[in-house]
Copies of this chain bind each other. A is one copy, B any other.
């Protein structure tokens, strides 16, 4: 088991990572001084509850008054209705300001449970127990939110967890699709800030099958470290934090155009990262060996092209609507070299050119 401190300007909290560490949950609560909480509400989803809820409850039940709420699987759970159901449950179970919410699940559970915690009685503590590889990303940074039919993550808050407890044995039950989805964010973290880690990835992880044991743990830990260091600089997302959107401008557009859930987040941003690399080569007039990235991504099983059924016009429109963009230029994250990125406004014309060329 390893322990790291994640620092934000407003708070510092530990990340515990290791295989099977969920059994030590009580110890961790003690360590973060939450062993005196009046009540615990575990928020989880249908799939995760089948796999791990009993285990988590059994660790806690001897010492705590603990209850749980099971939300539907998938993005649709990030709705105002499910949010309100969780608030109602918390009130019915008589949680108070000295209570704790535990988010047990992937990114959706973390975002929803975190927003419930951020606003229940004006904010109570919560801890993240991520069960997916993708959640290594969302569990760090304090961004919590629900969706609105008019936009994803439109209603939310910044609320840092008291701890992140990452039991890497949970990863073993993930499908290849889910594992790959999370791995895309690991690669992104390497690309935006850490050439050495990127080299390690290309050498040590030749396929997704390598993502077990110590290698998995190292990959997650590095990913979280990079995410945390960017968030530290810019907790409230006013500047540098935007580099975390590398690959996300086109990635989000693809997800939205296909309809959420039709492609994994990781597959979408993998295509988006390759696109950002190609745009970078063009804008900076440099050679980044685009094709070497394509082969690497193929090795991991990522799609490397925009799905054929999508129209480039619609994708450009979507990218222009992104909340980080303005007028006829589109703000996106470009890469100068591995480990060095920057936010740039790029002409729509160039973006269209590369997008059209991509089909050839």
Contacts and interface: CB of A to CB of B under 8 A. Distances in A.
Interface in A59-117: 80, 84, 87-88, 91-92, 96-97
A241 to B, nearest CB: 12
Most buried by B among A87, A92, A96: A87
B91 A151 contact: yes
A154 B156 CA distance: 16
Interface in A17-63: none
A87 B153 CA distance: 12
Contacts of A158: 122-123
A96 B121 CA distance: 26
Interface stretch (A142-150, A279-287, A331-339): A142-150
Contact of A122 (B88, B92, B97, B145): B145
B151 A119 contact: no
Contact of A87 (B91, B154, B323): B154
A154 B80 contact: no
A297 interface: no
A87 B155 contact: yes
B122 A156 contact: yes
Nearest to A323: B96
Given A80-B80, A88-B150, A97-B323, A119 B119 contact: yes
Interface string A158-191: 1000000000000000000000000000000000
A283 B205 CA distance: 71
A98 to B, nearest CB: 10
Given A88-B150, A96-B323, A150-B88, A118 B155 contact: no
B87 A148 contact: yes
A120 interface: yes
A157 B91 contact: no
A119 B84 contact: no
B323 A157 contact: no
B119 A155 contact: yes
Contacts of A323: 96-97, 121
B157 A118 contact: yes
Given A96-B323, A97-B323, A323-B97, A156 B119 contact: yes
B123 A92 contact: no
Contacts of A91: 148, 150-151, 154
Contacts of A157: 118-119, 122-123, 157
A152 to B, nearest CB: 11
Most buried by B among A121, A122, A154, A236: A122
Contact of A121 (B84, B119, B154): B154
A65 to B, nearest CB: 15
Contacts of A148: 87-88, 91
Given A119-B156, A122-B153, A122-B157, 13 more contacts: A80-B80, A87-B148, A87-B154, A87-B155, A91-B154, A96-B323, A97-B323, A119-B157, A121-B156, A121-B323, A122-B143, A122-B237, A123-B157
Interface of A: 80, 84, 87-88, 91-92, 96-97, 118-123, 143, 145, 148, 150-151, 153-158, 236-237, 323
